[in-house]
Structure 1
Amino acid sequence: MIVTPSKVEVVAPVKVAEHKIHQFVQSKREWIVRALAKIAAKSQQHETLAPAVYGHGADIPYQGVSYKLTVRPTKLKKIKIEFSQEFIEFIAHVPDALMIHDHSAEIKEALIRWMKKESKSQVEQLVNRYAEKKQLFPQTIKIKTQKSRWGSCGIHNDIHINWLLIIAPPEVLEYVVVHELCHIKIRNHSAHFWALVAEHLPDYQSRRYWLKKHGSSLMMGL
């Protein structure tokens, strides 16, 4: 028996009577209900955090919260993104020439550029906060677009961080930065490594759990 969101498929020998197949399905009814519930829950976990259209009133995910997007015309030649601390919203200043056309894709690209820049700034602040405690100084810090990893530490102590972490709560980005810094000293995931992480972040396990639970949605990006 194969259960999908749209149908329940039963594979049976040709000679089996149809009423026997119906009886079999009825006998498995509770199991089918549980299977459908698991499929639905998994689907929700992989639901994208990004809006369908990047226009006025869209919800933009940032640091674990959704903020409204306000679109305003501007005399500038390219889109400028601003995060307003006063009104707690994102503002996309869109050139007049673009306002008469569909500018969703252009706003999305501008938001990604803004978030990558903001990611670099926040990661550098976190490195400055934690590196000195155990002399965990990276050679370089790079913000990357990665499809399957949140961060990495190269053999020359180059730290790479996935910019999508800027969408997650701040403590999750903090955990990944500390995680990679600790790899400068310990290259594996032994008990000694996790003890070093815990020296910096005693509650790292809850942050790690958040990433495991919501990582699939986060990885889908903007």
Structure 2
Amino acid sequence: MKYQYSHCYSDFGRDLKTLSSIFYMPTLSFSYQIKRSARATRVRIVVKADNVEVVAPLHGVSDKRIAQFVQEKRQWIEQTLAKIAQTIQVQGSPIPDVYAQGTEILYRGQMYTLAIGVTKLKRVKIDFTDCFTAYLPDGLLIEQQSDAIKKALLQWLKQQTLVQVQVAVSQHAASKKLFPRSITIKSQKSRWGSCGFQGDININWLLILAPPEVLEYVVVHELCHIQVKNHSQQFWDLVTEHLPDYKQHRRWLKTQGRSLMAFHE
């Protein structure tokens, strides 16, 4: 019997038998539920926002062996729970009303603090290292600063979107010769990306706010449309060749993507 572990956010209810049980262990910081599935060929751990599930075959693996497996993967489970909690917290964060010293900025799935500096330039300059810094012209009036920072930040985020899209294209285009004719970063209220008949790709800049792998998935999705114009099995097989775990990122967009749309201009 091989043991593997992974996390996702899907509902396995259709595939599982009703045989299940919840385990609490004093040595663990979490409880977990064992679900026995007739379709399962190995044990795997599914970490969700509200619980930990261990999916196992109906026979051949005892609860004691599963408990041992959970203990072996304890650190990974706790790290994954923490990551999910952080993601939920990020997605629940309000849009800043004012851009000033200490404002929290969402970028690539994480929150970063905004600091304020001064520049001799006549326009606001945005810099990013381990936090955001907005360098303001010395003569900029206080009542104008927030709007000026927001405008400069949006422009910077769109530029970074193009940079990261180009990185993803460079990583995935060559293997199957999926070279786009053009790449355009757009502001769209209902679409994450699109691919024209001639291979012109459009990407929503809001994806720069999502975790990096989500943006990568959308880019791969549109690249694959250069070769396959529909959503047939051939298309999804091509996506899988580039991103075997694409379903996880697709699911993230379905469950978390709406919150990003709130950041729309």
TM-score past 0.5 threshold: yes
Structure 2, unaligned runs of 5 or more: 1-88
Name 1:126's counterpart in structure 2: 168
Whether the 8 Å contact between 2:126 and 2:152 is mirrored in structure 1 is yes
Matches of 1:220 and 1:45, distance apart in 2: 13
What are the equivalent positions in structure 2 for 1:59-208 lying under 5 Å apart? Answer: 59-84=104-129, 88-208=130-250
Higher-Rg member (1/2): 1
Q: Cα 1:60–1:46, aligned 2, differ >3 Å: closer, same or farther?
A: closer
**Secondary structure, counterpart of 1:159 in structure 2:** strand
Aligned residues of 1:45 and 1:214 also touching (Cα < 8 A)? no
Output the CA distance in 2 between the equivalents of 1:219 and 1:49.
Answer: 12
Gaps of 5+ in 1: 1-43
Query: Contact (CA 8 Å) 2:162, 2:185: kept in 1 or not?
Result: yes
Deviation at 1:55, TM superposition (A): 0.8
State the Cα distance separating 1:100 from its structure 2 match: 3.1
Distance of 1:216 and 1:45 partners within structure 2: 13
Displacement of 1:102 in angstroms is: 3.8
Please say if residues 108 and 211 of structure 2, whose CA atoms lie closer than 8 Å, have aligned partners that are also in contact.
yes
SS for the counterpart of 2:122 is: coil
Q: Contact between 1:74 and 1:94, CA under 8 Å: does it hold in 2?
A: yes
Q: For 1:101, what is the secondary structure of its paired residue?
A: helix
**1:43-54 pair list within 5 angstroms:** 49-54=94-99
Greater Cα offset, 64-73 or 101-110 = 101-110
Q: 1:220 maps to what in 2?
A: 262
Q: In 2, Cα distance between the equivalents of 1:69 and 1:182? A: 37
Q: Distance in 1 between matches of 2:241 and 2:142?
A: 54
**8 Å contact from structure 2 (residues 126, 132) kept in 1:** yes
Partner Cα distance (1:111, 1:45) in 2: 18
Counterpart secondary structure, 1:205: helix
Percent identity between matched residues is 55
Query: In the alignment, residue 74 of structure 1 is paired with which amino acid?
Result: T
Distance 1:163 1:209 in 2: 19
Distance in 1 between residues matched to 2:115 and 2:98, nearest whole Å: 13
Given that 1:48 and 1:218 are in contact with CA atoms closer than 8 Å, whether structure 2 keeps it comes out as no
| CA root-mean-square deviation | 1.8
Mapped contact 2:90–2:106 kept (Cα < 8 A): no
By how many angstroms is 1:49 displaced? 4.8
- Report if aligned partners of 1:45, 1:217 keep a CA contact under 8 Å in 2: no
Check if 1:58 corresponds to 2:103. Answer: yes
> 2:182, 2:96 → 1: CA distance?
33
Length-normalised TM-score, structure 1? 0.75
